[in-house]
């Protein structure tokens, strides 16, 4: 059985794909166990600007025995880009509290070490939300046209798999 590395994180992973079937027929009998190839039909599960929720684990303060309680938290954020391997995404976390109800909610600013709240999240821990996509820049991680992270004077493109600032593409 061959592992098709390019298909990791593709929206067609595990479904019928003409490109993968044609490749499978061409390498049949060669003993190939893993292959990476260029695929024009590959689309990531989550696109730039898509709103997602994700699971995150945080440790509480240690007790007098040195043991810490762990908390499963759920945060919301916006997808900035997909990582090279297709197994994780760069996400801009929404500032504010987690959406857990059984414990006191923790603020994102206190959970994540990155002050800009930009982190990598594994795709298996992410879930799409019903919120509409927002305008995001995959180059500078700016969200919306009034972001102070963006370089001055740049125009934004519509959300999609290749949303980039206009100045970066020219």
Look over the chain and give the mean of its residue pLDDT values, rounded to a whole number: 75
Instruction: Please state the rounded mean pLDDT for residues 43-57.
Output: 87
Q: What pLDDT digit, counting tens, does each position of 117-165 carry?
A: 888 999 889 999 998 888 777 666 667 654 555 554 445 444 444 444 4
Number of other residues whose CB lies within 10 A of the CB of residue 118: 16
Q: What pLDDT digit, counting tens, does each position of 67-115 carry?
A: 777 778 888 999 988 887 778 899 998 887 877 655 667 778 878 888 8
State residue 102's pLDDT score: 59
Contact present, 71 and 40 (Cβ < 8 Å):
no
Residue 164 half-sphere exposure toward CB, CA atoms < 13 A: 7
State residue 15's pLDDT score: 81
State residue 36's pLDDT score: 79
Stronger pLDDT, 75 or 166, i.e. the higher one = 75
Number of other residues whose CB lies within 10 A of the CB of residue 114: 10
49 has pLDDT over 70: yes
Q: pTM of the predicted model, to two decimals?
A: 0.71
């Amino acid at each position: 059985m061959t592992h098709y590395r390019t298909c990791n994180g593709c929206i067609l992973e595990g479904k019928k794909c003409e490109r993968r079937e044609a490749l499978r027929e061409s390498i049949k009998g060669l003993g190939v166990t893993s292959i990476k190839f260029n695929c024009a039909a590959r689309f990531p599960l989550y696109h730039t600007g898509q709103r997602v929720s994700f699971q995150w684990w945080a440790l509480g303060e240690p007790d007098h025995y040195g043991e810490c309680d762990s908390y499963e938290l759920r945060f919301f954020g916006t997808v900035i880009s997909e990582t090279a391997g297709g197994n994780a995404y760069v996400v801009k976390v929404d500032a504010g509290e987690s959406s857990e109800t059984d414990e006191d909610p923790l603020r994102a600013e206190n959970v994540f070490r990155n002050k800009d709240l930009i982190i990598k999240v594994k795709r298996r821990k992410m879930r799409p939300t019903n919120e509409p996509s927002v305008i995001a820049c995959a180059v500078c991680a700016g969200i919306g046209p009034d972001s102070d992270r963006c370089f001055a004077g740049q125009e934004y493109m519509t959300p999609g798999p290749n949303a980039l600032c206009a100045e970066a593409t020219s």
